Amino acid sequence: MATFAKPENALKRAEELINVGQKQAALQALHDLITSKRYRAWQKTLERIMFKYVELCVDMRRGRFAKDGLIQYRIICQQVNVSSLEEVIKYFMQLSTERAEQAQSHAQALEIALDVDDLEADKRPEDLMLSYVSGEKGKDRSDRELVTPWFKFLWETYRTVLEILRNNSKMENLYAMTAHRAFQFCKQYKRTTEFRRLCEIIRNHLANLNKYRDQRDRPDLSAPESLQLYLDTRFEQLKVATELELWQEAFRSVEDIHGLMCMVKKTPKPSLMAVYYAKLTEIFWVSESHLYHAYAWYKLYVLQKSYNKNLTQKDLQLMASSVLLAALSVAPYDHKHGAAHFELENEKERNFRMASLLSFSLDPKRDSREVVIFPPFSLFFGFSAVYFVRFALHLVVTFSFVFEQLSRSALLSELASKGVITYVPQEVKELYHLLENEFFPLDLASKVELLLSKLSKLGDKLSSASPVPEVQLSQYVPSLERLATLRVLQQVSQVYQTMKIEVLSRMIPFFSFSVVERVSVDAVKYNFVATTVDHLKGVISFDSMDLESDRLRNHLTTLAKRLNKARSLIYPSEKKASRLGESLPALIEVIDKEHRRLLARKSIIEKRKEEQERHMLEMEREEESKRLKLQKITEEAEQKRLASEYSRREEQRIRREIEERELEEAQALLQEAEKRKGKKGKKPVIEGDKVTKQALLELALNEQLKERHEMERKLQKLAKTMDYLERAKREEESPLIEEAYKQRLKDDEIFFERQQRQAIEQSRQQHAGDLQEKGRLSRMAENKEIFEQELIARRRDEFEQLKRERDERIAMILAERREERLRQRKIIFYRREEAARLTRLKEEEEARKREEAERKRREEAERRAKLDEIAEKQRQRERELEEKERLQKEALLARATDEPRHPRPLGPVAKPVETAAAAAAAAAGPTPGKYVPKFRLQKPTDGGGAAPPPEPDRWGRTDDRPPRTDDRRSSFSSYGSRSSSSWSSSKRY
C-alpha cells in the first residue's frame, strides 16, 4: 500500500501511471489514498482525486472500486461539504451514461457499415457458419460484445448511487434524480427485469427508513419537500411500469403510493391523485377487475370535475361516458355465490384492500352467515311468547350486521344520484336505460347492437389538462355485448319456459350460440338465471328463480316479521311494553352470551384454520423441496444425457462428413479419368453407398494406368512414323539447299558493293558541309572566348561567396557545439561536486551521529557503573551495621545469662557497666567514613546534652530534617530479632 505525504502527490503519481499505460496501478494508488484514515478532512484536492478516480473506474468498468471510493468520500463529505459529493456522483453517472451511449452508437455503426467483399454473394461462408453455430445474428453478437458490458456497468452505477444516497436527508434531491434516471434507463432500453429489481430496491429503502427511526440524517417524511420527492419518485415508477406493461409491478407501485399516503396521513396534490386514479383504471382493466375499474373511473371523474377547471365540456362528457360504461360493464351477478368460507374471507379482505386503494371507507361489519342459528320451525310450538320475543330480537340483532361493500348496484345508484348520467351523450343514455330499466326480451339485443355500433365511433383525444390522454369507448363493447346477452336471457326466462336454440341465436346477433352457452353457464353458476340446454331436442328451458332468489334468500327476515306480527296480535300493545321491559335484561344477557360464544367459536375456527394452513404450508414446503431435489437430479441426468447425445451426434456428423468428402474426392477422380478418356456422357459404374473410397481410388488408378499404357504405345508408333518422314524429306531437300546457298552468296556480294559505294559518297558530302560550317563559325571565336571567360569568372565569384558562407556557418556551428559541450561539462561537474558534497555531508552527519551515540553509550555505561558502585557501598554499610547489631545483641544476651550465676558486689560492677555503656556509645557514635542510620544518631531519652550536628555525607550534603524519636527502636526491641531484621530490610529498600 503506497503512502503519500500529500494528496497532490498521489494525483501526480496516478497521472504518471496513466501516461505509461498502467491504469490498474493508478486506480489502486488512488483507492489506497481514499480509503486511508490519514486523509479524513475534506479538501479541494480530494474532489479532484475523486474525479480522476471515477474516470478510471468507468474506463476499466470497476464498479466495486467505485462503490468503495464513493462510500469513503461520503464519510468525508457528509458533515462538511455535501455538494462536493453530489458533483462527484453526477460526474460518475454522466461518464457511465456517455460510455453506454457511445457503445450503442458504435454497435449501430458496425451493424450499418457495409462489410461485404462480393456484392453478388448473399453472405460469407464464415458468417453462415457462425450464425448456424451461435444461433444469433450479427446485431445480437455486437450487442453482446460491445453494448451489454456497458449497460451492465451503467445499471451497476445506478444501484451503487442509490445505495450510497439512501435514507439521507441531505441527498434527497440527488436520490430522487438518480431514481428517475434509472427509471428512464429501464424505459428506454425495455429492461423489465432491472426495473423490477429497481422497484424492490427503492421499496426496501423505504422499509428500512421506517424500521430504523434513530438513524442519523434520517429523512423526515412529514416535511412537505421530502414527501413530495418520495411521491414523485413513486409516481414516476408507476408511469414507467404501465408503459412497460408490467401490471403486477404497477399495482405494487400503487400500493407503495397508498402506503406512503397512509404513513404520513396526508393527501397529495390533486394532479398527482388524478394520475394515480388514471393508472388504476388501466391496471384494473388489464386485470379484468371491471368493478374496481369503474370505481377508479368514478374517483377520477369526481376529482377532475372538482379541481380541474381547465377541462372542456367535451372532455367532461367523454369521462362521464367512460364512468357509466365502465359501471355497466361489470357483471350483474355476485361472484361469491356458492363460494367456500375461506374464499369469502379472502374476497372480503380483497374488497377492503381495493376500497382503501380507491379511497373508499367500508364498514367491516359481520356477515349474516357467521351468526345465524335457525332452529326448526316445529320447535316453536309449545313454547311461551317470551321465547318468540327472544328469537325475534336475535334475528333483528343478527340482520343488523350487514356487510357493506363495493358493488355494481351501489355504483349505479351513486352515479344516478350525483347526476353523472346527465353529462353523457344521448346514445350512452339510451344504452343505460335499455340495459337497466327497459324490458324488451325479443328485440333488446338488436337495439343494443345499433347503439353499440354508434358507441364504437365515439372517443377522442382529451385536452392536455386531463391526466388521461385519450378515451376510446369501443373498449367497453365486448363487455356490453356480454351484458346485453345476460339481460336477454334474464328477460326471456321471465316470459318463456322453453325456446328453440335457433330463435335465441337470431335474437342475439353479435354472438354465436356457443358463446351464448358459455355466458349462460356462468350465469347459472352464479345464480343469475336458471336455464337448461337440450341439444338433442334443440331447445333451451328456463326455470323459475322465485323460490331460490326471493323466498329462500329472505326467509329469515320474512319469518321474523311474521313472528313479530303474530306476537303483536296475541299480546295487546299495553302489555308489550311491560313484558318487554321485564325481559330486556335477560335478553341482553342472552345476546351477550351468544355473541361471546360465537366470537369464541370464530376464534377457534380461525386458529384451526391457521394451524391447518401452517401444516399445509409445511407440507407444501417439504413437497416443494423434494420436488426441487428430484427436479435437480432429473435435470442433471438430462443434461448429462443431452451432453453425451450431443457428443455422439457430433462424432457421427464429423465421421459422416469425412466419409462424404472422401467419396466425393474419389468420384471426382473417377470422373476426371473418364473425361480424359473422352467418355464425357458416361458416368462411372458405382453401386451407391456401398462403394468405398479405396475401391474408387483403385478404379481410378487402374484407369490412369490403362490410359498411360495406351498413350505410350501411340507415342512409339507416332515416333517411328515421324522418323521415316523426316529422313525422306532431308534426302530430297539436300540438292536444293546447296543451290540456294550459292545463289545467296552471289546476292550478298552484290549488295555489299552497292552499300559500300553509298557510304563513301555520304562521307564526302558530310566533309564538305562541315568545312563550310567551320568557315562560318570561325568569325565568332573571339566573342566565344570573351563570353566563356566572363561566365567562368562570375561562377567563380559565386562559388567563392558560397564557400565563405559555408565556412562561416560551419564555424558558428562548431562554436555553438563547443559552448554546449562546455556547458554540459560544467553541469556534469557541478552535479558531481554537488553529489560529492551531499555525500560528504551525509557521511559527516552519520559520523557525528555515531560519535554522539558512542558518547551517550559511554556516559550511560559510566553512570550505571557509578550507580552500581554506590549501591554496592550502600549494601556493604548495611551489612556492617547489621553485623554490629548482631554482636551487640549477643553481648547483651551473654551478660544477662552470666549475672545470676556469678553475683558480684555493686562497686566492682559499675565499671563494667560504664565500660559497656561506653562501648555502646562508641558503637553508636558516628565513625568517619562509615554510614550510620539516623536513629543511631539520636540522643538517648534519659541523657542531657545536645545532639551532635549532622555531618555532611560524601557528596557534601547535610541532612537538616528533624530527628526521629526512638519509639520505633523500643518497639523493635520488644519484637526481637525477627522484627529487627524486617525493619532493617524495610529501611534498605
**409 φ/ψ angles, rounded to the nearest 5 degrees:** -65, -40
pLDDT for residue 392: 41
How far apart, in whole angstroms, are the C-alpha atoms of residue 551 and residue 574?
A: 33
Q: SS3 of 472, please?
A: strand
The grid cell for 459 is 372517443
CB 10, CB 29: distance < 8 Å: yes
CB 380, CB 545: distance < 8 Å: no
Say how many Å lie between the first and final Cα of the chain, rounded.
52
| CA-wise closest residue to 104 among 74, 76, 146, 59 | 146
**Interstrand relation of 531-534 and 498-500 (parallel, antiparallel or unpaired):** unpaired
Contacts with 419 (C-beta within 8 Å, 6 or more apart), sequence order: none
pLDDT along the chain (989 residues), means of 10: 67 81 83 76 80 86 85 81 84 87 75 41 50 48 67 87 83 87 88 89 84 73 81 88 88 85 79 84 86 87 83 84 89 72 68 70 41 36 39 39 63 86 88 87 87 81 75 86 89 88 88 88 84 88 61 66 82 56 72 85 86 85 85 86 87 86 77 63 47 70 83 89 88 88 90 90 90 86 89 94 94 94 94 93 93 93 92 92 91 73 43 43 46 51 45 47 45 41 40
Residue showing cell 484536492: 45
pLDDT for residue 816: 94
**Spacing of C-alpha 12 from chain mean position:** 33
Q: Assign residue 167 a region: left if phi > 0, alpha if psi is -120 to 50, beta otherwise?
A: left
How far apart, in whole angstroms, are the C-alpha atoms of residue 303 and residue 473?
A: 20
CB 534, CB 543: distance < 8 Å: no
Provide the b/e sequence for 701-718 (b: ≥16 CB within 10 Å): eebeeeeeeeeeeeeeee
How far apart, in whole angstroms, are the C-alpha atoms of residue 253 and residue 203?
A: 9
* Structure letter (DSSP) for residue 532: E
C-beta neighbour count of 915 within 10 angstroms:
10
How far apart, in whole angstroms, are the C-alpha atoms of residue 75 and residue 563?
A: 80
| CA-wise closest residue to 889 among 986, 987, 972, 989 | 972
- For the chain, the maximum distance between any two Cα atoms, rounded to a whole number of angstroms, is 201
Q: Report how far apart, in Å, the C-alpha atoms of 430 and of each of 119, 424, 734 are.
A: 67, 10, 131
| CA-wise closest residue to 44 among 84, 99, 101 | 84
How far apart, in whole angstroms, are the C-alpha atoms of residue 714 and residue 710?
A: 6
**Interstrand relation of 498-500 and 459-461 (parallel, antiparallel or unpaired):** unpaired
pLDDT for residue 312: 82
pLDDT for residue 405: 64
CB 55, CB 95: distance < 8 Å: yes
* Structure letter (DSSP) for residue 500: E
Contacts with 839 (C-beta within 8 Å, 6 or more apart), sequence order: none
Contacts with 683 (C-beta within 8 Å, 6 or more apart), sequence order: 671, 674
* Structure letter (DSSP) for residue 498: E
- In the chain, the amino acid numbered 340 is A
* Structure letter (DSSP) for residue 933: -
How far apart, in whole angstroms, are the C-alpha atoms of residue 148 and residue 143?
A: 6
CB 833, CB 825: distance < 8 Å: no
Torsion of CA 230, 232, 237, 242, to 10 degrees: 150
How far apart, in whole angstroms, are the C-alpha atoms of residue 674 and residue 851?
A: 108
Contacts with 560 (C-beta within 8 Å, 6 or more apart), sequence order: 392, 395, 396, 399
The grid cell for 348 is 372480503
Q: Report how far apart, in Å, the C-alpha atoms of 495 and of each of 295, 488, 847 are.
A: 34, 11, 128
How far apart, in whole angstroms, are the C-alpha atoms of residue 489 and residue 504?
A: 9
How far apart, in whole angstroms, are the C-alpha atoms of residue 339 and residue 696?
A: 81
For CA atoms 401, 406, 411, 412, the dihedral sign is negative
Q: SS3 of 331, please?
A: coil
Would you say how long the chain is, in residues?
989
| CA-wise closest residue to 424 among 319, 343, 494 | 319
How far apart, in whole angstroms, are the C-alpha atoms of residue 395 and residue 694?
A: 104
